């Protein structure tokens, strides 16, 4: 059964003004956003893709099911404060509909003991212009998560006659969508083995069994989409995105230094037109750097995170420090404790907006993960007119 999360507090804003769906990049002035909710947040039951993402020494290993109530209550408290902060910047904030993720999640082909949550819409859907596209997802525990956004998207679709509502083909996620024994227990604990595999673009998801992508692997920079190939997004997924958006230029990126490559938003993060922040442990490959250089984009290294380890029951890395939300050309939301990042942003001419968020990380990430754009000002700019050194995306070969 679906349950509207905190209907009274969340829906007033959503009904205040008619929706227009429009967002082409990650940094134009933000006016309307979906902010996830922590209700029923669960430690996902393991499937082949999620198993490889959870670090071997994580306190999440070997457990699954509903997260402790105190952590859900705390996340809700922080979420409300953040929503207020966003509203104070003139941004409309909507909430998804919580489902019971603590229940068994099944398809005719497989089942897992429980799901994940709807705290992090960035993984599930992306807005490209006037279109909201739902990704396939690649963890079995997250297969049904799209239903949490149906109420909102149906509302947007009714209110905005130009809005396009699209859903990528739901994947089968059979066992043979994944490489069998990609990392055994021994290899999982071996950093050198993991790094060698990602260096060779050898990921747990098979490349052409069926298209797979999480929306958070896609970096939107106007006419160009940069999509990370890794555990959650395969080459067929990237090829599918290119065919779906024929007027865009899709580029595939992968980052050899990322031992658990899911989602691009702790790895390469745009701060404004012409400026990206890069994770120094996961540098951009030289052949991928060219298109940025050819078009006058600057890539700066992110500073070391303030923390040495993630908070309890969190499978994301400490590089959630970089998982910021750009509100406009001046303001960037940062975790309050990430002082090195705030200092770097100040030096780059931004005004960091510190928000207390670390206790929300366990639910799937920081500010960028917890949100999904509905409206940013502006249109589809061509930031990369020089495509001379474009690396073509892979195509299927027999």
Residue ranges that bind ligand DAV, judged by CB under 6 A: 216, 262-263, 265-266, 316-317, 319, 365, 369
Cβ-based nearer residue to ligand DAV, 156 or 315: 315
Cβ-based nearer residue to ligand DAV, 53 or 249: 53
Catalytic residue among 160, 214, 254, 265: 214
- To ligand DAV, the closest distance from the beta carbon of 20 in angstroms equals 27
Cβ-based nearer residue to ligand DAV, 115 or 365: 365
- To ligand DAV, the closest distance from the beta carbon of 12 in angstroms equals 29
Catalytic residue among 263, 314, 360, 368: 263
Establish whether 266 is a catalytic residue: no
Cβ-based nearer residue to ligand DAV, 35 or 266: 266
- To ligand DAV, the closest distance from the beta carbon of 310 in angstroms equals 8
Cβ-based nearer residue to ligand DAV, 14 or 212: 212
| Rounded Cα distance, 393 and 88, in Å | 42
Q: Which two tokens stand for residue 259?
A: 């031992």
Specify the length of the chain in residues: 398
Establish whether 263 is a catalytic residue: yes
Over the chain, what HEC string results?
A: CCEECCHHHHHHHHHHCCCCCEECECCCCEEEEEECECCCCEECCCCHHHHHHCCCCCCCCCCCEECCHHHHHHHHHHHHHHHHHHHHCCCEEECCEECCCCCCEECCCCEECCCCCECCHHHCEEEEECEEEECCCCCHHHCCHHHHHHHHHHHHHHHCCCCEEEECCCCCCCHHHECCCCCCHHHHCCHHHHHHHHHCCCCCECCCCCCCCCHHHEEEECCEEEEECCCCCCHHHHHHHHHHCCCCEEEEECCCCCCCCCCHHHCEEEEECCEEEECCCCCCCHHHHHHHHHCCCEEEECCCCCCCCCCCCCCCCHHHHHCCEECCCCEEEEECCCHHHHHHHHHCCCEEEEECCHHHHHHCCCCCCCEEEEEECCCCCCCCCCCCCCCCCCCCCC
| Residue 296 burial (10 A CB sphere; 0-12, 13-18, 19+) | exposed
Cβ-based nearer residue to ligand DAV, 92 or 263: 263
| Rounded Cα distance, 39 and 148, in Å | 11
| Rounded Cα distance, 375 and 129, in Å | 9
Cβ-based nearer residue to ligand DAV, 143 or 319: 319
Catalytic residue among 32, 224, 369, 373: 369
Catalytic residues: 214, 263, 369
């Amino acid at each position: 059964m679906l349950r509207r999360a905190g209907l009274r507090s969340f829906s007033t804003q959503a009904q205040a003004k008619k929706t227009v769906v429009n967002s082409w990049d990650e940094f134009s002035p933000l006016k309307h956003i979906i902010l996830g909710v922590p209700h029923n947040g669960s430690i996902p039951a393991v499937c082949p893709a999620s198993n490889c993402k959870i670090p071997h020494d994580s306190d999440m290993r070997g457990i699954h099911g509903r997260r402790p109530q105190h952590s859900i209550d705390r996340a809700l408290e922080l979420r409300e404060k953040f929503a207020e902060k966003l509203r104070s910047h003139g941004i409309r904030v909507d909430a998804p509909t919580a489902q019971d993720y603590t229940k068994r999640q099944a398809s005719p082909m497989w089942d897992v003991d429980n799901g994940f949550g709807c705290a992090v819409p960035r993984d599930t859907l992306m807005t490209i212009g006037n279109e909201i596209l739902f990704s396939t997802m690649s963890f079995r525990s997250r297969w049904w998560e799209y239903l949490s956004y149906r109420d909102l998207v149906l509302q947007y679709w009714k209110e905005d006659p130009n809005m396009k509502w699209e859903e990528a083909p739901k994947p089968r996620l059979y066992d043979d969508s994944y490489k069998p024994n990609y990392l055994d227990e021994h290899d999982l604990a071996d950093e050198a083995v993991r790094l060698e595999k990602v260096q060779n673009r050898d990921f747990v998801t098979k490349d052409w069994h069926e298209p797979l992508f999480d929306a958070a692997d896609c970096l939107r920079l106007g006419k160009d989409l940069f999509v990370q190939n890794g555990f959650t997004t395969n080459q067929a997924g990237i090829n599918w995105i290119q065919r779906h958006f024929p007027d865009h230029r899709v580029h595939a990126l992968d980052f050899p230094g990322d031992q658990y490559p899911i989602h691009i938003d702790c790895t390469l993060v745009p701060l404004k037109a012409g400026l990206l922040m890069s994770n120094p442990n996961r540098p951009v490959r030289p052949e991928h750097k060219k298109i940025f250089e050819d078009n006058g984009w600057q890539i700066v290294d992110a500073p070391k995170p303030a923390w040495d380890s993630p908070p309890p029951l969190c499978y994301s890395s400490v590089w959630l420090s970089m998982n910021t939300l750009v509100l406009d050309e001046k303001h960037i939301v940062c975790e309050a404790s990430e002082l090195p990042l705030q200092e770097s942003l100040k030096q780059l001419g931004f005004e960091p907006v510190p928000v207390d968020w670390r206790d929300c990380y366990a639910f799937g990430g920081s500010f960028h993960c917890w949100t999904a754009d509905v409206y940013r000002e502006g249109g589809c700019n061509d930031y990369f007119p020089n495509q001379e050194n474009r690396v073509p995306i892979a195509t299927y070969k027999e």
